[in-house]
Chains A and B, each alone.
Chain A
């Protein structure tokens, strides 16, 4: 009698931790890139806005608060989401009315995110093929 086997169970269990790690890394990379863009734009007076860029994942937050800070954003509902935010209440004017720093920072991490997810996909395909 012919028998066959596959690694679908192992693959399914491995996807989530890998994707979670990618999401977390990209979120912290984005925090760094946004801060770097604020510096590059010379949008620093007291440094509060730059230091108020933070990350919230389902397990952690780098929110610092402060007198001119908006309240912390809610935690993501699952571990495959992360939020990158700026707490300084005047950050929106700086970003949308004067000089953008948030979206340029986010755009710079997008290729890394896509590449990492493609790598996971390639590894899954390798595992599925038994190689």
Chain B
């Protein structure tokens, strides 16, 4: 038996980190949660955002719907690579399903696109492209 949020993390992480094309763009790696301090180049992050459960009338949980924010990020000078990484992420999990230990991922799809930028204390600009990915998960 798995916790559905952990199962969602496991599915997305395994799918993204196992892809050679994405690894070519995101040389800074794929990270669960925040990227470690000092990460350079383009990287991808997966973060749990919110969720809800589907219950039967007598409150038996049948499905969980965790929402993850998945972003490709990096310096402004690498904007095109960041866009390529975000597009590859979407190709991999924009309409996906699968299994992980203890859970079945019935669906994973993008619910909303995201894009924003952030000025770092060093004066550099960090660019983010990605989306909110909804998962529908049942315990196996």
Q: Give the residue among A92, A93, A96, A100 with the most B Cβ atoms within 10 A.
A: A96
Residue-wise, chain B 99-129 has the 8 Å CB interface mask toward A (1 for contact) of 0000000000000001010100000000010
What separation, in Å, do the CA atoms of A58 and B103 have in the docked complex?
Answer: 43
Q: Say whether A110 faces chain B, with CB atoms less than 8 Å apart.
A: yes
Q: Say whether A104 faces chain B, with CB atoms less than 8 Å apart.
A: yes
Contact across chains for B118 and A107 when beta carbons are under 8 A apart: no
Q: Say whether A80 faces chain B, with CB atoms less than 8 Å apart.
A: no
Contact across chains for B52 and A96 when beta carbons are under 8 A apart: no
Q: What is the count of residue pairs linking A and B with beta-carbon distances less than 8 angstroms?
A: 30
- Interface residues in A, total, Cβ within 8 A: 11
| Option from A93, A104, A110 in Cβ contact (under 8 Å) with B118 | A93
Residues of A at the B interface (CB closer than 8 Å) are 92-93, 96-97, 100, 103-104, 106-107, 110-111
Give me 21 A-to-B residue pairs in the complex whose CB atoms sit less than 8 angstroms apart, sorted by A's number.
Answer: A92-B116, A93-B118, A96-B47, A96-B49, A96-B69, A96-B71, A96-B114, A96-B116, A96-B128, A97-B34, A97-B118, A100-B47, A100-B48, A100-B50, A103-B67, A104-B49, A104-B50, A107-B51, A107-B67, A110-B52, A111-B52
